[in-house]
Structure 1
């Protein structure tokens, strides 16, 4: 079952024929994690969604309040019996009509959810190898910082990673600096400095990125900064990890011949679980 414009319908409902998200990638989305019938970091997701809709000039319906979207998501996971732990994606797309130029800026939305096995965040003790993906580059612009359905770089990069036996790839911007991973933001520990690229470099303005920046600043003797990361910096790093809302923190154990530690990743995961268990 899915939630289509506030009505729960079967997944085989035909909504693609004139769907602008399907035809032109004219859509934005948010993926959220539900834990014990609560949407984690709901406010951050909601305001990023509203900001994304404004950036691409969609008309925001009057009923699109945070409470309304929360109700729509939770009603779906309850119907699918996934309230314990699940992920849900809400896709907002411009309504049909027109070609590149839409006939109007009104929107529809669709919510899809799947169950998750784990409730709290955890770190798997396994090898996780990455490399650079250099076939295509992310541009340093506002559109790169929001979640649109145009993710062809992430798709082709994922195929490249799979073909080369990699767990993930790191994406570069048009200045050849490291921006993010295929499925999340990138953090680098260099000595006592924790670094992540600024949003102005073209990285996603990640919800989990925001939480990790806040939590890391509470660690004694750790300097937390937003700075440019070059590919050469990766070879000097002590630790690399990827963040997103579903996984939490994914430590990178190897980049080419360089092997990394995971101490800060483990420490931040513990703090993250402490935070969500008390909210």
Structure 2
């Protein structure tokens, strides 16, 4: 079942038309969220990012869009899908400006869609499988506030994914207009050299990721690592000890190879355990 503005529809239902502004102009935002055992994980972080993004795009936030209301709509959607409601679930929450207008909309009012898909693992697992990456240099991320938002404008990710498949890579790293490494196709990037961990700053154009934010908190509280939010040159990739990707669905994905360089997974393995512990404590706190 799919939730469209609070009404549940079968997955094969037709409830959007050719005037949809998300389709026409990419006038849309989305959140990819994990649900486990009755809990919408990191919901406050996702909610606050969504509200901030809607304000930046000058969307009108409905009065009923409270954190409690939208969480209840997510839970309603999951529970309506009886075959997966007891499983870990991936939620996609999409909000878009309503139909009408050309570039200038008739209204800033919005609609939303909530979708749910079953996941395998209830917690983050570091899948130690080969992940080979390459730079994607056909197009660049234009650093700026818009590039940090999770909008539906994902053409560079789509074309980059096709490039990766055509060339038998598992992922690609995106560059900004200054030729600095920004992120991977499906998440933020972290580079490890010795006890130093680096990740690009938001000013370089990377997504303002939820797991990125959580890892910044975790690493910042550890004495065993030093953390830097600094630009990363492609030349640093071959000197690094580790390289890993983060997103809200997979958690941490270790890159194993870039060109002739092969990477360790020791720090990623350490951090995924700490990430699970933080989320578990947050889930317990939100239910108490």
The equivalent of 2:8 in structure 1 is 8
Instruction: Give distance in 2, aligned partners of 1:141 and 1:278.
Output: 34
Aligned pairs (5 A) from 1:197-236: 197-236=200-239
User: Of 138, 151, 156, which residue of structure 1 is paired with 2:154?
Assistant: 151
Instruction: Give distance in 1, aligned partners of 2:176 and 2:252.
Output: 23
Question: Structure 1, residues 169-221: CA drift from partner, whole Å, max 9, x if none?
Answer: 00000000000000000000012110000001000000000111111223333
Q: How many residues align?
A: 279
Instruction: Give distance in 1, aligned partners of 2:205 and 2:20.
Output: 28
Give the match's secondary structure for 1:278.
helix
List gaps (5 residues or longer) in structure 2: 283-288
The equivalent of 1:262 in structure 2 is 265
The equivalent of 2:286 in structure 1 is none
Give the match's secondary structure for 2:60.
coil
Instruction: Give distance in 2, aligned partners of 1:30 and 1:93.
Output: 12
- Provide the TM-score with structure 2 as the length reference: 0.95
Alpha-carbon shift at residue 266 of structure 1 (Å): 0.2
- Provide the TM-score with structure 1 as the length reference: 0.98
Give the match's secondary structure for 1:13.
coil
User: Of 110, 118, 121, which residue of structure 1 is paired with 2:121?
Assistant: 118
List gaps (5 residues or longer) in structure 1: none
* RMSD (CA atoms): 0.9
Instruction: Give distance in 1, aligned partners of 2:135 and 2:69.
Output: 41
Alpha-carbon shift at residue 222 of structure 1 (Å): 0.6
Alpha-carbon shift at residue 113 of structure 1 (Å): 0.8
Report whether the alignment pairs 1:17 with 2:18: yes
Give the match's secondary structure for 1:205.
coil
Question: Structure 1, residues 59-116: CA drift from partner, whole Å, max 9, x if none?
Answer: 0000001111100111101111333300111111010111111111100011111010
Alpha-carbon shift at residue 49 of structure 1 (Å): 0.4
Give the match's secondary structure for 1:241.
strand
The equivalent of 1:80 in structure 2 is 81
Moved over 2 A (4+): 81-84, 217-221, 276-279
Question: Structure 1, residues 209-238: CA drift from partner, whole Å, max 9, x if none?
Answer: 011111122333310110000000101101
The equivalent of 1:241 in structure 2 is 244
Native 8 Å contact 1:34 1:40 kept in 2: yes
Instruction: Give distance in 1, aligned partners of 2:265 and 2:220.
Output: 18
Give the match's secondary structure for 1:228.
coil
Give the match's secondary structure for 1:71.
helix
Question: Structure 1, residues 104-151: CA drift from partner, whole Å, max 9, x if none?
Answer: 110001111101011111011211100100000001110000011110
Native 8 Å contact 2:128 2:254 kept in 1: no
Aligned pairs (5 A) from 1:51-200: 51-81=52-82, 82-83=84-85, 84-200=87-203
